[in-house]
Amino acid sequence: MLLTLTDLIGTFAFALSGGLVAVRHRLDLFGVLVLAIAAAVAGGVLRDVLLDVTPAAIADWRYPVTAIAAGLVCFAWHERVERLRNPVQLFDAVGLALFAVLGAGKALQFGAGPFAAVMLGVLSGIGGGIARDVLVAQIPAVLQRELYAVAALAGALVVVIAAAFDLPATPAAFAGAGLCFLLRLAAIRRGWRLPVAGGGE
């Protein structure tokens, strides 16, 4: 129950980030809902397809409904949501952290090796953001902005390392999510990023 609730919180957070991006690009209601759903479920769907399991977003009605609810919140009350400091980045960081650790954990549960589990955790975390940005013709944040995939990688690694040493899964997931979230926020505030080719900005 706790795992599902955490997953739904991540779904809502990512959907909010997608919905807000859609509102900023002045998309209509349908466009807002499409971006909300894409941001919320794209990473998880790709992960589940690679694991050869039915995607949770298709098998469980709660995931698309949660994403739609977040999209409607953005459409109806986007001005209130925008008052939060950097709301898109905040919600995106929450979704990134939760999906990275949950993705790695699910991959381990379905028999993936340590390397594959880390990569699938990263994919779970960054997939929705990539889909969201591509749909509004933006270069995905993961390719150009502050530490993003690296933060997801760190969170997923905590889960996989904990599993390798038979440590409790739930505390490891919270620790991994916390590390990913803090890294992402620190990167945003301090401008941490990987080197750029040619040394340019």
- pLDDT, tens digit (0-9, with 9 covering 90-100), for 56-82: 888 899 999 999 999 999 999 888 877
Number of domains in the chain: 1
Average confidence (pLDDT) over 154-163: 97
Confidence category of residue 200, pLDDT binned at 50, 70, 90: low
- What is the pLDDT at residue 145? 67
Confidence category of residue 199, pLDDT binned at 50, 70, 90: low
Asked whether residue 68 is assigned to any structural domain, the reply reads yes
Distances (CA, A) of 103 to 2, 21, 45, 51, 141: 15, 24, 10, 11, 20
Which amino acid belongs to residue 36?
Answer: A
Asked whether residue 199 is assigned to any structural domain, the reply reads no
- pLDDT more than 70, % of the chain: 94
pTM of the complete model? 0.87
Asked whether residue 201 is assigned to any structural domain, the reply reads no
Q: Please, what's the largest Cα pairwise distance for the chain?
A: 49
Residue pair 22/74 in contact (Cβ under 8 Å)? The answer is yes
Domain encompassing residue 175: 2-194
Residue pair 130/145 in contact (Cβ under 8 Å)? The answer is no
Asked whether residue 200 is assigned to any structural domain, the reply reads no
Confidence category of residue 139, pLDDT binned at 50, 70, 90: confident
Cα(81)–Cα(83) distance, rounded to whole angstroms?
Answer: 5
Asked whether residue 157 is assigned to any structural domain, the reply reads yes
Residue pair 70/34 in contact (Cβ under 8 Å)? The answer is no
Residue pair 16/24 in contact (Cβ under 8 Å)? The answer is no
177 CB-near residues (< 8 Å, 6+ apart) = 97, 98, 100, 101, 155
Asked whether residue 101 is assigned to any structural domain, the reply reads yes
Structure-model confidence comparison of residues 121 and 88, the more confident one = 121
